[in-house]
């Protein structure tokens, strides 16, 4: 049997026992006030019907008012305590996840499509936090209140207490089981569709302009609607058990009230058997207390749904973290140092098996990237250019074949030294809501202001930075959305240039630039004497805009290999080779 991943995942929340117990105590006080209010109100109503002296009712009247006020007060305190614990937990979980991803195997995050990664670090962590608010604390409160209600009712009528216990079991056990089943059906059928919808929606939102120019925006939006429809259909299929779960609690309440009423009116009397002799106050309490008792179990259906979703979310989050923590073999035995020789032998690359579609991997290919070489990779969209770069960087495992760094398999070298010497710079890398200098320090933490200005000037942003109010200390208030597409690409290129990596794997560095500026930057990148990159550093560029006089040592044309496996063996050498060129 598969071990439940939820307890392990909940440790990521780093919940404070004191805060959790405070929230439970506030919840017990809230529903305890409601339970006591129902019992005292029943006594007061029936006692007042007997028209006793007013002073006999004064304490009860004041107590009813106090319980009514305290219920709202304790509900407010419970919400504060519960959400404080949950929100602190989600912050701790995300911080811990980010730390482990940053320190662990980069292939763990890079091997997931963007929508799936967003879901695991976003919605799935929120699902874990919901367990605190919707499951753990409500379940603890309901158990305490259910026991208190049954025990209290047993002091008046053991038979009525038995009926209440059975009804509470239906409401608190059977109904949540049906809700959990409905949630499992919805999640199992809709999880993949939700991830694909998020991925497609993010693609449409982030690249709407490019997709419109390419004539693919309508197709992308239609695909997103299709995945959204799958989510809706999965929810509809789960509606039947959910409907039965919703009906269980009202039926249990009705059965409990009717059972208590029948017991109170027919089974008890002054001598234990005369019908109709139970005191009016006791009869009213028997009837009204169950109504308040079910308030505790009414939250358990949502708790079961939250637990089910959290278990699925926990499995996905832990899978991500486990992959990040994997060493992938004898990692750490071999340190990568410059100069770096990067080689690929019979390399087929593609996304991990769970993400890969039929025919989506590249055909076998050999690559030999000597220190200081300049290589351009071209091909149509979807040909596997970015996947090839990520595989060369050790971010994706090869489908077959091998990648070696200085003669050692990439999976067997020290990950930290590999990331330091071989850098993959994605076209959609994030720009943070901080200063230009700090955005460049993502790649090199000790970068000073002069170095940042030099890098920005080298990529054509010198005049723009000079016009900014605080220069390189100007904050990008909305991250990547505060700059144009061309400025964003130049900033990402500057980040790559300041990095300490000996091998720069650049994915579409000149996209969104005009043809003239893009060609000039590509020439500077691909020419060892271009002055943009030091001659001893290796540069591999993926581009759609390769100029005819690019100066690359090697041009790799992927053709249509990702689609049909043809045209993948064409590797053209623009120069006679590094040895001849030198």
Determine contact, residues 359/515, Cβ cutoff 8 Å.
no
Determine contact, residues 343/368, Cβ cutoff 8 Å.
yes
Q: Sheet containing 374-378: give its strands across.
A: 422-425, 503-507, 538-542, 374-378, 554-557, 571-572
Determine contact, residues 472/435, Cβ cutoff 8 Å.
yes
Question: What H or E segment, with its residue span, contains residue 43?
Answer: helix 17-49
512 DSSP 8-state letter? T
Question: What H or E segment, with its residue span, contains residue 555?
Answer: strand 554-557
Cβ atoms within 10 Å, residue 12: 22
Domains of the chain: 6-325 (1.20.1560.10), 342-581 (3.40.50.300)
Cα gap 359→382, rounded to integer Å = 11
Q: Where are the beta strands (DSSP E) in 370-428?
A: 374-378, 400-405, 408-409, 422-425
- Determine the pLDDT at residue 453: 93
- Mapped to the 3 state alphabet, what secondary structure does 467-508 carry? HCCCHHHCECCCHHHHCCHHHHHHHHHHHHHHCCCCEEEEEC
As a whole number of angstroms, the longest Cα–Cα distance in the chain is 115
Cα gap 429→494, rounded to integer Å = 12
Region of residue 58 (phi > 0: left; psi between -120 and 50: alpha; otherwise: beta): alpha
Cα gap 242→185, rounded to integer Å = 10
Direct distance between the N- and C-terminal alpha carbons of the chain, in angstroms, rounded to an integer = 63
DSSP reduced 3-state for 311: helix
Cα gap 272→298, rounded to integer Å = 35
Cα gap 293→327, rounded to integer Å = 53
Over the Cα atoms of the chain, what is R_g?
33
With DSSP H G I counted as helix, E B as strand and the rest as coil, what are the percentages for the chain, rounded to 5? 60, 10, 30
Contacts of 274 (CB under 8 A, 6+ apart): none
- Determine the pLDDT at residue 576: 33
Cβ atoms within 10 Å, residue 39: 22
Judge residue 360's burial from the number of C-beta atoms within 10 Å of its C-beta, 0-12 exposed, 13-18 middle, 19 or more buried: middle
Beta strands 400-405 and 538-542, pairing class: unpaired
279 DSSP 8-state letter? -
114 DSSP 8-state letter? H
Give the distance, in angstroms, between the CA of residue 389 and the centroid of all CA atoms in the same chain.
25
Residue pLDDT tens, the chain, 582 long: 357 888 888 888 988 899 999 999 999 998 888 888 888 888 888 877 778 777 777 888 888 888 888 888 998 999 999 999 999 999 999 888 888 887 776 666 766 666 677 778 888 888 888 888 888 898 898 888 888 888 888 888 888 888 888 888 888 888 888 777 776 666 666 666 777 787 788 778 877 887 888 888 888 888 888 888 887 877 777 777 777 777 777 888 888 888 887 887 775 554 444 444 567 777 778 778 887 788 878 788 788 878 888 888 888 888 888 877 765 444 456 788 878 888 888 888 877 654 555 456 777 888 889 998 999 888 877 778 888 888 888 888 888 888 888 888 887 788 778 888 888 888 878 888 888 999 999 888 889 999 999 999 999 999 999 988 888 898 887 656 678 888 888 999 999 999 999 999 998 888 878 888 888 888 888 888 878 888 899 999 998 878 877 678 888 888 743 333 333 333 333 333 333 333
Cis upstream peptide for 339 (omega within 30°)? yes
Least Cα distance to 488 among 423, 424, 428 occurs for: 428
Does the predicted model carry a pTM greater than 0.75? no
Beta strands 571-572 and 554-557, pairing class: antiparallel
Judge residue 211's burial from the number of C-beta atoms within 10 Å of its C-beta, 0-12 exposed, 13-18 middle, 19 or more buried: middle
Residue bearing tokens 């923590």: 325
């Amino acid at each position: 049997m598969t071990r439940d991943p939820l307890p392990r995942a909940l440790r990521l929340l780093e919940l404070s026992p004191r805060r959790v117990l405070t929230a439970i105590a506030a919840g017990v006080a809230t529903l305890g006030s409601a339970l006591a209010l129902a019992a005292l109100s029943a006594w007061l109503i029936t006692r007042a019907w007997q028209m006793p002296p007013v002073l006999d009712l004064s304490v009860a009247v004041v107590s009813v008012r106090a319980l009514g006020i305290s219920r709202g007060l304790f509900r407010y305190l419970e919400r504060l305590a519960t959400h404080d614990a949950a929100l602190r937990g989600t912050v701790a979980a995300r911080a811990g996840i980010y730390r482990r991803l940053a320190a662990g195997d980069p292939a763990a995050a890079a091997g997931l499509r963007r929508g799936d990664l967003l879901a695991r670090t976003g919605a799935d962590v929120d699902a874990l936090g919901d367990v605190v608010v919707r499951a753990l604390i409500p379940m603890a409160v309901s158990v305490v209140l259910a026991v208190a209600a049954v025990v209290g009712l047993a002091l008046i009528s053991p038979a009525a207490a038995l009926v209440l216990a059975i009804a509470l079991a239906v409401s608190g056990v059977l109904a949540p089981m049906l809700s959990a089943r409905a949630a499992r059906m919805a999640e199992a059928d809709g999880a993949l569709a939700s991830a694909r919808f998020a991925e497609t929606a993010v693609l449409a939102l982030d690249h709407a302009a490019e997709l419109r120019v390419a004539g693919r925006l309508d197709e992308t939006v239609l695909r997103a609607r299709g995945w959204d429809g799958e989510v809706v259909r999965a929810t509809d299929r789960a509606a039947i058990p959910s409907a039965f779960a919703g009906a269980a609690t009202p039926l249990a309440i009705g059965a409990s009230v009717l059972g208590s009423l029948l017991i109170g009116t027919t089974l008890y009397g002054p001598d234990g058997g005369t019908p109709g002799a139970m005191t009016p106050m006791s009869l009213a309490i028997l009837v009204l207390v169950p109504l308040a008792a079910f308030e505790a179990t009414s939250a358990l259906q949502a708790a079961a749904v939250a637990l089910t979703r959290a278990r699925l979310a926990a499995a996905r989050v832990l899978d991500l973290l486990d992959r990040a923590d994997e060493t992938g073999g004898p990692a750490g035995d071999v340190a990568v140092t410059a100069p770096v020789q990067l080689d690929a032998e019979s390399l087929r690359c593609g996304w991990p098996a769970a993400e890969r579609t039929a025919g989506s991997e590249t055909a076998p290919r050999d690559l030999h990237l000597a220190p200081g070489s300049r290589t351009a990779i071209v091909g149509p969209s979807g040909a596997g250019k970015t996947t090839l770069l990520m595989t060369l960087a050790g971010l994706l495992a090869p489908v077959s074949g091998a990648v070696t760094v200085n003669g050692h398999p990439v999976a067997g070298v020290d990950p930290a030294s590999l990331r330091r010497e071989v850098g993959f710079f994605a076209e959609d890398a994030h720009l943070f809501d901080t200063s230009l200098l700090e955005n460049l320090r993502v790649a090199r933490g000790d970068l000073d202001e002069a170095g940042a200005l030099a890098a920005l000037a080298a990529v054509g942003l010198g005049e723009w930075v000079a016009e900014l109010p605080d220069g390189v200390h100007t904050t990008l208030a909305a991250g990547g959305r505060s700059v144009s597409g061309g400025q964003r690409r130049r900033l990402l290129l500057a980040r790559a240039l300041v990095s300490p990596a000996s091998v720069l794997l650049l994915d579409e560095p000149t996209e969104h630039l005009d043809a003239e500026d893009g060609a000039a930057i590509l020439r500077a990148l691909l020419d060892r004497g271009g002055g943009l990159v030091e001659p001893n550093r290796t540069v591999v560029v993926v581009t759609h805009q390769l100029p005819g006089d690019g100066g690359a040592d090697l041009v790799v044309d992927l053709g249509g290999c990702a689609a049909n496996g043809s045209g993948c063996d064409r590797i053209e050498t623009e120069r006679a080779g590094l040895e001849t060129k030198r």
